[in-house]
Chain A
C-alpha cells in the first residue's frame, strides 16, 4: 500500500525529469502514467492495488452520506409524531474490528448518523454500547450496522 503510493510518486518524478517539465501539469501526467503502469504490473505486488483502497474510501463516504440523509428523515418522523410512542434502548454491538482507527471510525459513523449514539467502548474493545432513540428490533439494527458501515470499513482496511 504505502510502497505502491511511494512508487507512484517516484514514477511521476522520473517522468518530470525525463520530459524536463517541472510543473504541476507535468507531475500530474507522470502520476497518471504511473497509475497505468502499476495497474499493468499488479501481478508483481504482494498486496492489493492501492487504488482499490482509495475506491473503498470513496464508497464508504457515499454510504455514510446516504445513511445520514435516511436517518435524519427517520428522526424527523419521530420528532414530528404527535404522540410519544418511541422505543429507546441500549444495545451491545459486537464488533470484529481490532485497530484503534477502525473502532474510532465506526463509532464516529454510528454517532454521526442520527438516532444512534455510541456511549461506551468495552475494555477489551470487542463490544460497542449503542443507544438508539427509536428501535423496534435490536438484531435488525445490529445487522444494519454490520452490513453497511462495518463491511465498508473492513473493505478499506483489507491488505
Chain B
C-alpha cells in the first residue's frame, strides 16, 4: 500500500535545486564571508538526503549514479595534491599561491589554490555523509 506523496515529491524536486544553488554559493563565499567547503558539502548532502526522503534510495541512486566512496577518495587526493604540489617547486608543504586574473564575464577575480583544497574538503564531506546515510538506510 503506497500512499500518494505527490505534494512532498513535487516540492522536494523544486527545493533540491534551491538548496544545491545555495550550497554552491556558500562554497564559493568561503574566503571572504562565512561558508566554505565543509558547510557547502553538508548542504549538498542535505539536498540529496531530501530527495532520498521524498522518493527512496533506489530511485535516487538511479538518478544520481555516484559512487560516494570514490568521491571521498577523489576529495582526499585533491586536498593532498594541492598540499604536496609546492614541494615540487622547493617550497614548504601547504604553501598556497594566488594571483588576480581578468576572467570573461566575472571580471577581476583572485584565483587561489586554497579553493582547490576546499574543493577536496567539499568532495570528502559529501562522500562521507552520503556513505553513512546510504549504509544505515540499506540495513534491513
Contacts and interface: CB of A to CB of B under 8 A. Distances in A.
B10 A125 contact: no
Interface stretch (B1-9, B16-24, B68-76): B1-9
B82 to A, nearest CB: 39
B4 A125 contact: yes
A104 B3 CA distance: 15
Q: Size band of the B side of the interface?
A: under 10
Most buried by A among B4, B7, B10: B7
Contacts of A101: 10
A108 B9 CA distance: 13
B67 interface: no
A101 B9 CA distance: 10
A87 B3 CA distance: 29
A20 B43 CA distance: 43
B10 A121 contact: no
Contacts of B4: 120-125
A107 B7 contact: yes
A80 B10 CA distance: 37
A108 B7 CA distance: 9
B11 interface: yes
Contact of B7 (A103, A122, A123, A124): A103
Interface in A57-113: 100-101, 103-104, 107-108
Contacts of B7: 103-104, 107-108, 118, 121
Nearest to A104: B10
A104 B11 contact: yes
A120 B7 CA distance: 9
Interface in A119-141: 120-125
A122 B7 CA distance: 11
Contacts of B2: 123
A14 to B, nearest CB: 22
A122 B5 CA distance: 9
Contacts of B3: 120, 123
A9 B90 CA distance: 54
Nearest to B2: A123
Most buried by A among B2, B4, B6, B9: B6
Contacts of B9: 100
A74 B3 CA distance: 33
Nearest to A122: B4
Interface of A: 100-101, 103-104, 107-108, 118, 120-125
Given A108-B7, A118-B7, A121-B4, 8 more contacts: A100-B6, A103-B10, A104-B10, A107-B7, A120-B4, A122-B4, A123-B2, A123-B4
5 contacts: A100-B9, A120-B3, A120-B4, A125-B4, A125-B6
